[in-house]
Amino acid sequence: MATYEGSKSNSDGRFAIVASRFNHDVVKRLLDGAQDGFKSSRVTEDSIDLIWVPGSFEIPLVAQRLASSGKYAAVVCLGAVIRGDTDHYDFIAREAARGVAQAGLTTGVPVIFGILTCATEEQALDRAGGKEGNKGYDAALAAVEMASLLQKLPGK
């Protein structure tokens, strides 16, 4: 039986990070984590492009454009959607998730969902370097591993 696995320690290729300015304090922590994750995977800083967008709703369009460019091995999407008093949270969280998934599926490039969807700011901070770890770090590792895996798989 053939077994395929990606490596979390691979310095090949360029990576993009698409980050939301909305909920900037949380997203900055995710970004710091992602940079640490890439560094731990031997991805150099000059192999990473950072693109800022207004909010999480805008992430999928930019992620799809970057993924379809042929320039990147993977795209990491970082944002934070925090529940408020209206239904706005539900629409933004759902469409951001759908759009990020669609960007990866339509381009064949790993587009990693590092957008927090939390009930409170405390939960978001816990996942952005607090007691729940840093999901930005995890997203960077997933990007490296998926890029490596796709290079090893048969087919295009």
Q: Which residues are marked as active site? A: 88
Return the DSSP state at 56.
G
Residues 6+ apart with CB under 8 A from 67: 75, 103, 104, 107, 109, 111
Q: What is the largest CA-CA distance in the chain?
A: 52
